[in-house]
Amino acid sequence: MLLEPKAEPSRAAGTETNPTGGPAPSTKERNKTMNANEVEKKFGFLVFPGLEELDLVGPWEMISLWGKSLQGPGTRLLVAQTRDPVVCAKGMSINPQITFNECPQLDYLLVPGGEGTREQVNNEALIRFVAGQAKACQAVLSVCTGSFILHRAGLLSGRRATTHWSALSRLTELGDVKVCQERVVRDGQVWTAAGISAGIDLALEFIGSVAGEAVAGKVQFGAEYYPSGRFFGTLHQSPQAPAYLKMKPDKQTKEDHL
């Protein structure tokens, strides 16, 4: 359960005025208006065969906590080419809620990654849907190798972006993307995240940018998302590890953690 925002103390009359001479809206009133506007917005999650489960489910959880408890987007949609069940990379089956043709204009669109992206970058209907929605979206986000779908849709040319560590070289080879070995990258209205679990961090960063750090903090607390900071083994220091991992100091040992 999330904690409800506490009401702000009332302000003395006449302490704020607007340009017309009347009393200006209080911070509480401004936040209420902003939140009401956000509730009306639509957040779409692209679904396709072979997507990586956590790429989708992690952000879905964060965005849904925001939407259900803290006046975030009131409409959250799993969007696919058809309404047929979609089998993910590890076997999870997802029931799409709406098709490309039925989908209204979204305010936000998230594109997961996974092994299925290698085929979906050549799916003209899917690419057309992403590109078309992006024209009026306030933000388009990808997790992991979902970045390759964004690129095929024409959204990454000349932009900073990231992807799963194992696909960084492939993203670089595209030639027109400024590849950043960071966990979350924002370039204008386009957001990209590194591999799999990074989608949770992406969602929290995005919520913070739209609704403020306090709201993102409530979502984080509601999800109890506080990674331990412990590294298992030494692969985080291997040559193929992304730069953002190598820059971190070694974390707790098993003995320190316990």
Give domain status of residue 78, yes or no.
yes
* pLDDT greater than 90 at residue 17: no
Instruction: Identify the residue with better confidence: 6 or 250.
Output: 250
Residue 240's CB is within 10 A of a number of other CB atoms, namely 9
Give domain status of residue 15, yes or no.
no
Residues 132-150 have pLDDT tens digits of 999 999 999 999 999 999 9
Give domain status of residue 86, yes or no.
yes
Q: What is the CATH number of the domain that holds 170?
A: 3.40.50.880
Q: Is the CB of residue 45 less than 8 Å from the CB of residue 112?
A: yes
Give domain status of residue 239, yes or no.
no
In whole angstroms, what is the distance from residue 73 CA to residue 34 CA? 11
Q: Is the CB of residue 162 less than 8 Å from the CB of residue 150?
A: no
Residue type, 184: V
Q: Is the CB of residue 199 less than 8 Å from the CB of residue 112?
A: yes
* pLDDT greater than 70 at residue 242: yes
* pLDDT greater than 70 at residue 13: no
Rounded to the nearest 5°, which phi and psi values hold at 229?
A: 85, 0
Q: How far separated are the first and last CA of the chain, in Å rounded?
A: 28
Across 230-245, average pLDDT: 93
Per the structure, the complete domain to which residue 118 belongs is given by 40-222
- Residue positions annotated with a catalytic role: 144
Partners of 139 in the beta sheet? 108
How many domains in the chain? 1
In whole angstroms, what is the distance from residue 164 CA to residue 185 CA? 12
Residues 48-68 have pLDDT tens digits of 999 999 999 999 999 999 999
Q: Is the CB of residue 86 less than 8 Å from the CB of residue 51?
A: yes
Give domain status of residue 169, yes or no.
yes
Handedness of CA 214, 215, 216, 220 (dihedral sign): positive
Residues 156-190 have pLDDT tens digits of 999 999 999 999 999 999 999 999 999 999 999 99
Give domain status of residue 203, yes or no.
yes
- Work out the pLDDT band at 250, boundaries 50, 70, 90: low
Give domain status of residue 103, yes or no.
yes
**Residues 37, 71, 161, 232, Cα dihedral to 10°:** 180
Give domain status of residue 251, yes or no.
no
